[in-house]
Amino acid sequence: MDRVDKMNSLSGQNQTEHTYEQLSRTRRRQVLLSVAIGTFMAPLDSSVVNIALPSISQYFQASLAVVEWVILAYLVMISSLLLVFGRLGDLYGHKKIYILGFVIFTAGSLLCGLAPSIKLLIVFRAIQAVGAGMLMAMGPAIVTNVSLPQERGKSLGIIAVSVSIALAAGPVLGGVLTDKFGWPSIFLINIPIGILASIIAYRIIPDFKGREVQPFDIKGAVTAFTALISILIPLSYAEKFGWKNPYIISMLVTGIVLLIFFVYLEKRVKHPMVDLSLFRNRLFSMSNLSALLNYTAMFSVVLIMPFYLQQLRSLPPSKAGLLLIPMPLTTMLIAPLSGALSDRVDTRYISSLGMVITTLGLGLLSYLRIDSRYSSIILILIIVGIGSGMFHTPNNSAVMGSAPANRRGIASGILAIMRNLGMVLGVAISGAIFSSHRNYLIRLMETQGLSGVELKVQAFTGAMHLTFLVAAGIAATGILTSLVRGPLNSK
C-alpha cells in the first residue's frame, strides 16, 4: 500500500471510527429505528412468501419444482452478493448503498406484485433480493458506526429483535394477506413502507466523507459471486436429488475450486474486495465460524419441526405455526438483554453460554415422540430460543467490534453470509440425515415384519432423533469455537 492509499485508508477510518461522538442520543436512536426497518423487511420477505406458494402455484399453474425458485432465487441471490455489497459500502458509503437497497427492494416488490408469469416473478424476486442484500449487508455496519462502544451490544440486540419479529410474523402476515387480498399483496405492501423508509434513511442516517479512494475489485467480485452460486444451489437441492447426483457433485467441486481461486486472487490484488487480514484476527474468524455453526444447527429445527407437528402429529398448519412461535418470540425477548449484558461482560462467555443452552435444547428435541405433551414441546422450543437469543447479539457485537471502521461493511457482509450459508447448510445436512436414516429404518423394520402406522412412527422418530443429535453436536462444536476466540478489547 503506497502513501496515498495509506492516507486515504486512515482518513476513511478516522472519519467513521468516532461517528457516534458527532451524534446526539436522539439521532442515534432514529438511525437505529431506520436500520431496524430495513433489517425487518429483508428477512420478512424470505419468510412471508412460503405460506403463499400454494396460491402462487395455483395462479400460474406451475409445478412445485418451479415455484420453489420464488424462494430459492431470493435466498441464493442475497447470499451470493453480500460480500460485494459490503465492499461497495466501505468504498462509497454505507448510507448510499443502504438507501439504494431500499429503492431496488421497493421497485422489485412492485414488479413481483405485477408479475404476469411465474418466470418473470422469479426474475423479479432476484431483483428484489439485490435490494434486500444491500439492506442486510449495511445494517450492522451503520449501527456499529453510530453506537457508543459501551452500547454496541444493546443496539445490535435491537436489530436482532427486528429479525426475530420478521421471521415470526412472516408466515402469519403472509397468510392473512394472501387470504384477504391475494398473493400479490404480500409484495405490494412493501411499496409504501419502502418509500417512507427510504425518505427516513436519507434524512437521518449520517453520511461522513473521507472514505477510501480505491478501485473496485471486479475480478474478485465476479469470482466470489460465481463461487457462492455454485455452492449454494447444489446445497439447496442436495436433499431432493441426493448427494451422489453428478450435477450436485460437479457444482460443489466447481464452487470450492472457485473459492480457493478467489483467496489466491485476493492475496495478489492491490485493492482486494475482501481484506483477508481480517481473518488473521482470531476474534473475527472464530466468531464468524461460531455464527455459521449456530445457524446450521438451528435450521434443523426450522426444517424438521413443521413435519413432526403436521405429518406425525397430524396438526393443521395454523396450530403447528402457533406451537413454533415460542422459539422466535423468546429469541426476540432475550436478544436485547444479552446484548446489553455483553456491553459489560466478556462477549465470549455470554455467547458460549447461549451455545450451551442451544445444544441442550437440540438434545431434548431428539427425545420427542408421537405422544409428547404440547407443553413439553413449547418448553423445549423456549430453551432453544433462549440459547439463540443469548448467542447471536454478543457474537455479532464481537464480529463488528473487532473490525476496523473502514472494513465494517465487508465485515457485516461476511457475517450475513455466515447466517445465510448456515441456513442453507442446516437445511441440506438435516434434510439429508433425516431422509436417508428414515429410509434405512424403513427397510430395516420391514425385514423385521413391521408395517403400517407403527413403521411410519418408529422410522420418523428414529430419523428425527439422529438429526437433532447431529445438530446438537454441531452446536457443541460452536461452544468451543466461541470460547477460544478471545476477548473483545475494543469496547
What would the pLDDT profile of 368-392 be if each residue is shown by its tens digit?
999 999 999 999 999 999 999 899 8
- pTM comes to 0.76
Region of 275 please: left (phi>0), alpha (psi -120 to 50) or beta. beta
- Residues comprising the chain, all counted: 491
DSSP string for 194-233: HHHHHHHHHHHS------------HHHHHHHHHHHHHHHH
Q: Which CATH class is domain 278-491?
A: mainly alpha
| pLDDT at position 214 | 65
Cα–Cα nearest to 82, from 321, 324, 401, 420: 420
Measured CA to CA, the distance from residue 215 to residue 357 in angstroms comes to 45
Question: Does the pLDDT value for residue 62 go beyond 60?
Answer: yes
The single-letter code of the amino acid at 233 is I
Decide: 297 and 122 in contact? Cβ < 8 Å: no
CB 289, CB 481: distance < 8 Å: yes
Within 8 A by CB and 6+ apart from 31, the residues are 23, 142, 143, 146, 204, 205, 206
Give the span between the Cα atoms of 131 and 121, in whole angstroms: 16
Q: pLDDT-derived band of residue 228, with 50, 70 and 90 as boundaries?
A: confident
Contacts of 488 (CB under 8 A, 6+ apart): 283, 346, 347, 348, 397, 398, 401, 402
| pLDDT grade for 365, boundaries at 50, 70 and 90 | very high
Rounded to whole angstroms, the Cα distance separating 199 from 372 reads 50
- How many angstroms separate the Cα of 44 from the Cα of each of 41, 171, 186, 258, 264? 5, 9, 10, 31, 36
Q: Which pLDDT value is given to residue 446? A: 80
9-214: what fold? Growth Hormone; Chain: A; (1.20.1250)
Burial class (CB in 10 A: 0-12, 13-18, 19+), 372: middle
Closest CA to 133 of 416, 461, 489, 454: 416
Q: Which one, of 169, 161, 172, lies nearest residue 330 by Cα?
A: 161
- Which residues are CB-contacts of 258 (< 8 A; sequence separation ≥ 6)? 223, 226, 227, 230
Average pLDDT of the residues in 36-47: 78
Q: Residue 295: which of 475, 86, 79 has the closest Cα? A: 475
Binning pLDDT at 50, 70 and 90, where does residue 168 land? low
- Extract the C-alpha cell encoding 198: 427510504
SS3 391: helix
229-244 pLDDT, tens per residue? 888 888 777 767 777 8
Residue 227: which residues within 8 A CB-CB, separation 6 or more? 255, 256, 258, 259, 261, 262
Range in 147-161, 216-230, 239-253, 292-306 with the lowest mean pLDDT: 147-161
Percentage of residues of the chain with pLDDT beyond 70: 90
d(CA 488, CA 359): 24
Find, among 98, 100, 91, the residue nearest to 16 by Cα. 91
Q: Which of 53-67, 276-290, 319-333 has the largest mean confidence?
A: 276-290
Question: Looking at per-residue confidence, does 217 or 181 come out higher?
Answer: 181
State how far the Cα of 265 lies from the Cα of 259, in Å rounded to an integer: 10
Q: In sequence order, which residues have a C-beta less than 8 Å from that of residue 234 and are 6 or more positions away?
A: 247, 248, 249, 251, 252, 255
Angle CA 454–460–461, to nearest 5: 90
Helix (H, G, I), strand (E, B) or coil at 491: coil
